[in-house]
Structure 1
Amino acid sequence: MNQTGRNGIYTIQQVSDVTGLSKQVIRKWEERYELVQPERLENGYRTYKEKDVNTLLRVKVLSEKGYSIKQAVDMLEKEPESVESFFKAKQLKFEKFNDSVIQLLEKGTYCDDLELNLILQQSYHKLGLEEFISKVIIPFLKEVGDRWERDEWGEYQEAVSSMSVRDFLIQIRKTFQLRDDAPLVIGACLPEEHHELPIHIILLQFMLRGWKTVLIGASPAPGAIESLVQKLKPSIVILSASTTLPFEKDPKLLRGLDKFASEQEQVEFYIGGSGALNYLEGKELNAIQVTNDIEQILV
């Protein structure tokens, strides 16, 4: 297996792993369109930089949207300063990856959980928690999900990558020091919801602002949320549903939670996640506020 790129330098195999482009396609784009100009080692092997990886990814996204490779290259060369605006205006999905994300994607391709953990550790200690979450964890998980949806990654690749991140975030939460009198927030997946990573991230963002946190993880038992709220009496409760499965399995679930929330006068309840937002479109709740914006909660 290739060693992880150091100081933002990658082999053609690593670039292929990260971009999903074959080595033959990468060479073809380089030779025919002069898209990237890799440096050569003494043995003739190509080496690529972080900007080369992102350039290849941009062209890949444009080609998937129907543009020819030459059109995509011309766009990048003639108006490089307006590329980001173009992507935004056309609603094209592109995430610029930094070195840490590129390394994680490479190791995730090979399901190398040891290397994934080492890269996560290095990035965390280098960046600090806030930037680690915003610049590494969120972009990486977003791309993992996208690759799963596009069938570029299999179930095992997605599972190993997601679980490595989850386990690392759990370690951070366990060792995070907070004041004894800090306010408490409970984060909970809904019953039948198994995607707990969004709640881990949200609770860490609360911890950065001085909050104690308690997590009710994947698919809690019916009544578990209500019982813990009554026992711990938090200031805030965050409910999460990345899918609509909780509402499909139990159409009365949200109505019951909303009624319970209305009876807790000292507790603010919020619900978020793509599944919740989709399900709640056009619906109204009495006591639970709907949002995907943590800043709105902490106002």
Structure 2
Amino acid sequence: MTNNDMTYNIQQVAAITGLSKQVIRKWEERYGIVQPKRLDNGYRIYCDEEVQQLLYVKSLVEKGQSVKQAALHLKEKAALNQKNLNEQADDTHSWAHESVCTLLHEGDLYHEAAIYRTLQRSYQIYGLQPFLHSIVIPFLQEVEKRRDQGHWRKDQAMLASVVVRDVLIQIRRNFPCHEHAPLLLGACFPQEQHEIWLQIILLESLLCGWKTIMLERISAFDVIESAVQQLTPKKVVLSAYTTASLEQNSDLLTKCHHVAKHYPHISFYIVSPDTTSYIQEGTAPNLQMTDDIFSLVKDR
């Protein structure tokens, strides 16, 4: 297993591989076996993949190949791996497109059970991340487009969205996570009915090693405040996909700010396309506005 977030200096690489620093530099400069990044001071920094490449070439040399032959073999192996990845990506894209078309056809016919089965089957085939990004999100975007253009009735779009929401909830509740993983608490603002995007954020969080709890159908902000007090999560994500809750509760963001100020060790995020228009710069310093889901959940 490799972790490309790990980096090593040349002394550490020499200790791991059993190669001298001179040999490592020679293999880099003469054969292009690795291409380490350079710090401002000129020192080489190697990622774990490059360490594995050096170990692979070393193993071939120990079996009798010349360094030149081993380097060529490494490049051929990398090209083959990339070709396989591209073919897999093409296959996944094709199957995902077919799944989205199937979901839209079933939505045309109001086939609730068929939509559910197709979503479940797609999740089992592709795994969570491709399922979210190649099937669920494109399907939801097309549903919104058809509704806005009048090709689908509102109740038709609602049926499809509810089935997607139910499948996402089921996946999240059954997704394995470590007992001691940090907790991320999610909640929609009161009166906010569009919770699917928050469900997607929480599922992305699970992939990054979080435990998640979602408060559903909140009628008052006090419920969120009480949950923060009882659960003491590491992060709180509040979602306002529409501005309805902000328009109906003029003091909502003020309440959020006060709670966030009371718990400075907890990071509070508001995910909304339109929240910034309700907040003047500097008026809520304890609240972080974001639409970058990956950055939000990556840092634990």
Length-normalised TM-score, structure 2: 0.65
How far, CA to CA, are the matches of 1:257 and 1:200 in structure 2? 20
CA distance 1:283–1:104, change in 2 (3 Å): farther
Q: What secondary structure does 1:254 align onto?
A: helix
Higher helix share: 2
Q: Retained in 1: the 8 A contact 2:204–2:294?
A: no
How far, CA to CA, are the matches of 1:99 and 1:279 in structure 2? 41
Name 2:151's counterpart in structure 1: 152
Q: Retained in 2: the 8 A contact 1:100–1:119?
A: yes
Shift of 1:273: 2.1
How far, CA to CA, are the matches of 1:205 and 1:237 in structure 2? 14
Name 2:188's counterpart in structure 1: 189
Asked whether 1:137 is paired with 2:136, we answer yes
Name 1:272's counterpart in structure 2: 271
CA distance 1:109–1:284, change in 2 (3 Å): farther
Name 1:114's counterpart in structure 2: 113
Q: Retained in 2: the 8 A contact 1:178–1:211?
A: yes
Name 1:92's counterpart in structure 2: none
Name 1:255's counterpart in structure 2: 254
CA distance 1:250–1:167, change in 2 (3 Å): same
Shift of 1:195: 0.7
How far, CA to CA, are the matches of 1:205 and 1:199 in structure 2? 10
Q: Retained in 2: the 8 A contact 1:240–1:276?
A: no
String of CA shifts for 1:170-221, please: whole Å, max 9, x gaps: 1111211111101000011001111111111100000111111010123432
String of CA shifts for 1:39-76, please: whole Å, max 9, x gaps: xxxxxxxxxxxxxxxxxxxxxxxxxxxxxxxxxxxxxx
Letter in 2 for 1:135: S
Letter in 2 for 1:108: G
How far, CA to CA, are the matches of 1:210 and 1:127 in structure 2? 19
CA distance 1:218–1:143, change in 2 (3 Å): farther
Aligned pairs for 1:89-128 within 5 A: 98-128=97-127
Q: What secondary structure does 2:270 align onto?
A: strand
CA distance 1:277–1:195, change in 2 (3 Å): farther
How far, CA to CA, are the matches of 2:213 and 2:257 in structure 1? 20
The gaps in structure 1 that reach 5 residues or longer are 1-96
Name 1:89's counterpart in structure 2: none
Aligned pairs for 1:1-299 within 5 A: 98-280=97-279, 284-297=283-296, 298-299=298-299
> Aligned residues: percent identity?
37
Shift of 1:120: 0.5
CA distance 1:143–1:214, change in 2 (3 Å): same
Name 1:50's counterpart in structure 2: none
String of CA shifts for 1:209-259, please: whole Å, max 9, x gaps: 111101012343231111000000000000100111111111111011111
Q: State the aligned residue count.
A: 203
Letter in 2 for 1:99: E
Shift of 1:131: 0.5
CA distance 1:186–1:142, change in 2 (3 Å): same
Name 2:24's counterpart in structure 1: none
Shift of 1:284: 4.5
Structure number, greater radius of gyration: 2
CA distance 1:278–1:138, change in 2 (3 Å): farther
Letter in 1 for 2:174: T
Q: Retained in 1: the 8 A contact 2:198–2:239?
A: yes
Shift of 1:275: 3.7
CA distance 1:142–1:180, change in 2 (3 Å): same
String of CA shifts for 1:16-49, please: whole Å, max 9, x gaps: xxxxxxxxxxxxxxxxxxxxxxxxxxxxxxxxxx
Letter in 2 for 1:201: I
Letter in 2 for 1:189: C
How far, CA to CA, are the matches of 1:268 and 1:220 in structure 2? 23
Q: Retained in 2: the 8 A contact 1:187–1:203?
A: yes
String of CA shifts for 1:74-120, please: whole Å, max 9, x gaps: xxxxxxxxxxxxxxxxxxxxxxx711111111111111011101110
Q: What secondary structure does 2:221 align onto?
A: coil
Note the aligned Cα RMSD (angstroms): 1.6
